[in-house]
């Protein structure tokens, strides 16, 4: 079997904003298992950040992404993993195309379910996925 050198990968994740709340799901994936994280996933060849965010949101929740914009980028090392990982993560914010659409848990092997949580450090669910935890701790606010 060929031993592949690990390389950095690009993640695109979305703060879906509704009222004062954001959409979070509890991860089942190996990285960050049982912590609350944003919908998102890996950038595929040829995609724009918005295309990737909309595709991942649709695949994971069934939700149609509305107007979106770039917020920030982080450089995250996950070295304490069976398979160490390095992600450059692009954060977008977006609204829903239809604010009444309900989130479905379309990848139950990767997520326990989706919920809306008010963006308030005392009201967000615990534990947050650590990249998100660090953003909250630094005072980051995804709302315009």
Binding site for ligand 8DG (CB under 6 A): 11, 13, 29, 31, 37-38, 40-42, 56, 76, 87, 89, 110, 129, 131-132
Comparing CB distances to Mg ion, the nearer of 34 and 120 is 34
Residue 95: partners with Cβ closer than 8 Å, 6 or more residues away: 16, 17, 18, 66, 67, 68
Min. distance of Cβ 28 from ligand 8DG in angstroms? 10
Q: How far, rounded to the nearest angstrom, does the alpha carbon of residue 8 sit from its chain's CA centroid?
A: 17
Q: Is 53 in the site for Mg ion (CB under 5 A)?
A: no
Q: Is 11 in the site for Mg ion (CB under 5 A)?
A: no
Q: Is 25 in the site for Mg ion (CB under 5 A)?
A: no
Residue 75 β-bridge partners: 88
Alpha-carbon span 18 to 16, nearest angstrom: 7
Instruction: Judge contact between 40 and 53, C-beta under 8 A.
Output: yes
Q: Is 32 in the site for Mg ion (CB under 5 A)?
A: no
Comparing CB distances to Mg ion, the nearer of 41 and 142 is 41
Q: Measure CA of the first residue to CA of the last residue in the chain; give whole Å.
A: 49
Comparing CB distances to ligand 8DG, the nearer of 83 and 100 is 83
Q: What does the binding site for Mg ion look like in residue numbers (CB under 5 A)?
A: 41, 56
């Amino acid at each position: 079997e060929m031993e592949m050198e690990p390389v950095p990968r690009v993640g695109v994740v979305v703060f879906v904003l509704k009222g004062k709340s954001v959409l979070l799901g509890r991860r089942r994936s190996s990285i960050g298992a049982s912590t609350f994280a944003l919908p998102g996933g890996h950038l595929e060849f040829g995609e724009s950040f918005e295309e990737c965010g909309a595709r991942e949101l649709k695949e994971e929740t069934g939700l149609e992404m509305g107007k979106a914009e770039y917020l920030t980028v982080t450089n995250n090392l996950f070295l304490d993993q069976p398979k160490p990982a390095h992600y450059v993560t692009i954060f977008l914010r977006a609204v829903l195309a239809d604010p009444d659409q309900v989130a479905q848990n379309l990848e139950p092997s990767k997520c326990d379910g989706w919920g809306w949580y008010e963006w308030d450090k005392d009201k967000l669910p615990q534990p947050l996925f650590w990249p998100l935890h660090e953003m909250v701790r630094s005072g980051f606010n995804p709302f315009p």
